[in-house]
Amino acid sequence: MSNAPLTRLTDDEIIFRDAVLGFARDRVAPHVHAMDAAGQMKPELIRPLFEMGLMGVEVPERFGGAEASFFTAILAVEALATVDPSVSVFVDVQNTLVNNAVLRWGTDDQKKRYLTKLSSEWVGAYALSEPGSGSDAFALKTRAEKRGDDYVLNGTKLWITNGAEASVYVLMANVDPSKGYRGITAFLVERDFPGFTVGKKEDKLGIRASSTTELLLEDCVVPAANVLGEVGKGYKIAIETLNEGRIGIGAQMIGLAQGAFDYAMGYMLERKQFGHAIAEFQGMEFQYAQVATEIEAARLMVYNAARLKDAGLPFVKEAAMAKLFSSQVAERAASMCVEFLGGVGFTKEYPVEKFYRDAKIGKIYEGTSNMQLATIAKLLRRVYASRQG
């Protein structure tokens, strides 16, 4: 069993969460339907996210960040997702993947150069996946060749969240394919580096306002000073960063589930059949009570994993479990909420239809459900084997 810190919120955390919820409802909600239809985030929303400190939650104050906890970032991701999971993942990738990677592995100069901009004006993206490299992340084909004081990168990245808006990318390439995954190296690649191009944007089922693009590197010149961490240690950066990122996806999924549920409950209390609100019928009560219970269970798992991470305790198994379960709950909850609304739930006029489409990605990105199960099983074997020894 985990020696897990308490999952309840402090007064300051409640104030912060409610402020983000207020922003989401007042500033984001009016644009959700149009952004989903257009498949693009409204550019005018990006600046306020920086102004609220949501794009640099853990970044130290000396670099312009909020210098708050990882758990605080998780609260922001959850709160935004109750209104729009697309805006939520925009903030999530910035904090749990990009900023975290630079914070942990960057040199003092890299932190000063990039965290300052990532906290104030630059959007970041995380570029690991490729056309032939998904769950098998270390089968990547992008190459980096050392030439003088630079590296020259060639290859294609795919499924890159925030790809259209980003100014800097944490990008993985292999400097020595003969070493396999031990040749993988992380680079900080700026959008205007020679030979770098943002390619096609995907037309997706859900989270449509979140850009998902390919990246093309054709003799892309990257200064050697932009190697993040040590040469050949990109695999370690990728693994450790994604372990934290999965908690962020868990937060997105519980926020999504809560947003759909909140709307459905409001509808069921107003909608009357046979002289009674449909929420009063026992057949409905049993169903929405079950959904609410699963959302709360998923929330506790996500909060627990985030608290463990902040406390410096082992959290990889808990993060995988939280991501796995919260994505299952989000899909079930959103599906049930469509049914709670009946026919209107199937129309785009009501938001639960969008939550349902948005939920599917939770089982896919930042490690599929099967990859989470494999991670959980491996760690369980290790624990039980040690007991037998």
Question: DSSP letter string over 228-258?
Answer: ESSTT-HHHHHHHHHHHHHHHHHHHHHHHHH
Share above pLDDT 90 across residues of the chain, in percent, rounded to a whole number: 95
Q: Indicate if 188 and 283 belong to the same structural domain.
A: no
Q: Which residue shows structure tokens 């919820």? A: 21
First to last CA, the chain: 18
Q: Indicate if 107 and 53 belong to the same structural domain.
A: yes
- pLDDT score recorded for residue 8: 83
- pLDDT score recorded for residue 138: 76
Q: Residue 174 is inside which H or E element, if any?
A: strand 168-174
User: Which CATH number goes with the domain that contains 310?
Assistant: 1.20.140.10
User: Which CATH number goes with the domain that contains 142?
Assistant: 2.40.110.10
Residue 137 has pLDDT above 80, yes or no: no
User: Which CATH number goes with the domain that contains 108?
Assistant: 1.10.540.10
Question: 308: which 2 tokens?
Answer: 């463990």
Q: What is the mean pLDDT of residues 203-220?
A: 98
Considering only CA atoms, which of 233, 192, 244 is closest in space to residue 106? 233
67 in Cβ contact with 59 (< 8 Å): yes
- pLDDT score recorded for residue 264: 98
Q: What is the mean pLDDT of residues 183-200?
A: 98
pLDDT band at 2 (very low <50, low <70, confident <90, very high): very low
pLDDT band at 134 (very low <50, low <70, confident <90, very high): confident
Q: Within a domain: residue 6?
A: no
Q: What is the mean pLDDT of residues 166-173?
A: 98
CB atoms within 10 A of CB 95: 29
Residues whose CB is less than 8 angstroms from the CB of residue 109 and which lie 6 or more positions away in sequence, other chains included: 225
Structural domains in the chain (count): 3
Residue 3 has pLDDT above 70, yes or no: no
CB atoms within 10 A of CB 107: 14
326 in Cβ contact with 253 (< 8 Å): yes
Residue at which a domain ends, from 208, 231, 254: 231
109 in Cβ contact with 224 (< 8 Å): no
Tell me how far CA of residue 212 lies from CA of 163, 202, 365, in angstroms. Answer: 6, 6, 11
Q: What is the mean pLDDT of residues 86-100?
A: 98
Cα distance between residue 190 and residue 257, in whole Å: 35
Handedness of CA 181, 183, 185, 191 (dihedral sign): negative
Q: Within a domain: residue 358?
A: yes
Half-sphere exposure of 310 (CA within 13 A, CB side): 20
CA angle centred on 125, ends 29 and 16, rounded to 5°:
45
Residue 1 has pLDDT above 50, yes or no: no
Residues whose CB is less than 8 angstroms from the CB of residue 47 and which lie 6 or more positions away in sequence, other chains included: none
Residue 4 has pLDDT above 60, yes or no: no
Considering the candidates 58, 78, 353, 366, report the single residue annotated as catalytic: 366
Domain that holds residue 70: 11-123
Q: Within a domain: residue 118?
A: yes
Q: Indicate if 257 and 368 belong to the same structural domain.
A: yes
CA angle centred on 129, ends 128 and 134, rounded to 5°:
130
Classified as helix, coil or strand, 106 is coil
Instruction: Encode pLDDT of 343-376 as tens digits.
Output: 999 999 999 999 999 999 999 999 999 999 999 9
Q: Within a domain: residue 348?
A: yes
116 in Cβ contact with 63 (< 8 Å): yes
Q: Indicate if 276 and 207 belong to the same structural domain.
A: no
Cα distance between residue 177 and residue 175, in whole Å: 7
- pLDDT score recorded for residue 7: 65
Q: Within a domain: residue 3?
A: no
98 in Cβ contact with 170 (< 8 Å): yes
- pLDDT score recorded for residue 6: 53
Cα distance between residue 273 and residue 270, in whole Å: 10
Q: Indicate if 281 and 193 belong to the same structural domain.
A: no
DSSP state of 90: H
Instruction: Encode pLDDT of 292-348 as tens digits.
Output: 999 999 999 999 999 999 999 999 999 999 999 999 999 999 999 999 999 999 999
Q: Indicate if 255 and 366 belong to the same structural domain.
A: yes
Residue 11 has pLDDT above 80, yes or no: yes
DSSP state of 27: I
Q: What is the mean pLDDT of residues 133-148?
A: 90
Active site residue 366: yes
> Burial code of 120-135, b = ≥16 C-beta within 10 A, e = fewer?
bebbbbbbbbbeebbe
Share above pLDDT 70 across residues of the chain, in percent, rounded to a whole number: 98
Question: 36: which 2 tokens?
Answer: 């989903």
Classified as helix, coil or strand, 152 is strand
DSSP state of 344: G
Mean pLDDT value across the chain: 96
Q: Within a domain: residue 4?
A: no
Handedness of CA 280, 285, 291, 294 (dihedral sign): positive
Q: Indicate if 164 and 306 belong to the same structural domain.
A: no
pLDDT band at 122 (very low <50, low <70, confident <90, very high): very high
Q: Indicate if 251 and 371 belong to the same structural domain.
A: yes
Residue at which a domain ends, from 231, 257, 273: 231
Instruction: Encode pLDDT of 259-270 as tens digits.
Output: 999 999 999 999
Q: Within a domain: residue 176?
A: yes
Q: Within a domain: residue 95?
A: yes
Q: What is the mean pLDDT of residues 38-47?
A: 97
Question: 270: which 2 tokens?
Answer: 């107003």
329 in Cβ contact with 311 (< 8 Å): no
Q: Considering the entire predicted model, what is its pTM?
A: 0.96
Q: Indicate if 117 and 168 belong to the same structural domain.
A: no
Residue at which a domain ends, from 104, 123, 142: 123
Q: Indicate if 241 and 365 belong to the same structural domain.
A: yes
Residue 252 has pLDDT above 50, yes or no: yes
Q: Indicate if 178 and 262 belong to the same structural domain.
A: no
- pLDDT score recorded for residue 388: 87
Q: Indicate if 260 and 330 belong to the same structural domain.
A: yes
Residue 5 has pLDDT above 70, yes or no: no
